[in-house]
Structure 1
């Protein structure tokens, strides 16, 4: 996965110390199906995810990442879930603390394919039949986005 230039610049200053980063998850829906891709780095099946660029609106990042990764144009409908992901430590020792912002999105146009190499395959999956296809954290993101209550979920609040 290509690391954004601003992250590389920060890494040159802080080394492997934890970086707080904002990530987005775009749960793109179309006719009862969800857009999922198999990540090229770990083989997991996930919705589109990515890092918000400095100064970028998170909803715009979700739309941008969907176009970059799957060549699909989507529209953000609503905020679905905000949560802190447990610290990630990469093979090179870099540590990141991601605040994930999950959005419910609707398909506008385009047929999915792995456009930028971050995914090895991309396609539409029946929301009702996901079962064990996706990891629990990703399943929770999808569930939050497809929920009919239209309320955003938040973790914590202590």
Structure 2
């Protein structure tokens, strides 16, 4: 995963100590084109979700990324989708705010994230791994998702929930 320049600059000062970073998850949805089921069966259609396969772990996820200093979070979500999958997306709403547990990377760096999950709508483009952070990108029917972590599935579910107030994760 490409590390933003501002994080590299901070790492020069603090080494591998834990960083608190703000991130986004962009759950991009589009309506699937109807398909002919044949034999008098109804045509299949429904929402599809954009997923990318991460180059570092091989995991399928919605598009995720780090918010740059001073960047509006919704703008960061749209930027990450364009950078990672070459898809133009319109951010519709904030769906979920959560804190993620601290994680250690292979190089010893540690970070914890405030994650803002946005529901986004596809505007244009065909997905492909656009920046080297992913090895694949594509649209998936909601009933045919590849294996994903429970937290990533929960991010998709949060974006699919009816419009209303954003969900906030609360500690014990």
State TM-score, norm by structure 1. 0.96
Please, which of 35, 42, 57 is the counterpart of residue 57 of structure 2? 42
Residue in structure 2 matched with residue 124 of structure 1 by the alignment: 139
The 3-state SS of whatever aligns with 1:104 is strand
Residue in structure 1 matched with residue 43 of structure 2 by the alignment: none
1:143 paired with 2:157, answer: yes
Taking the TM superposition and a 5 Å limit, the aligned residue runs for 1:1-158 are 1-31=1-31, 32-130=47-145, 133-156=147-170
- Partners of 1:62 and 1:129 in 2: how far apart? 24
1:149 to partner: Cα distance: 4.3
Unaligned runs of 5+ in 2: 32-46
- Partners of 1:66 and 1:149 in 2: how far apart? 21
Unaligned runs of 5+ in 1: none
1:128 to partner: Cα distance: 2.8
- Partners of 1:33 and 1:109 in 2: how far apart? 14
Runs of 4+ in 1 over 6 A off after TM superposition: none
- Partners of 1:66 and 1:20 in 2: how far apart? 22
1:157 to partner: Cα distance: 6.0
The CA RMSD measured in Å over matched residues stands at 1.2
The 3-state SS of whatever aligns with 2:101 is coil
The 3-state SS of whatever aligns with 1:102 is strand
Greater fraction helix: 1
- Partners of 1:83 and 1:9 in 2: how far apart? 26
- Partners of 2:128 and 2:169 in 1: how far apart? 33
- Partners of 2:72 and 2:133 in 1: how far apart? 22
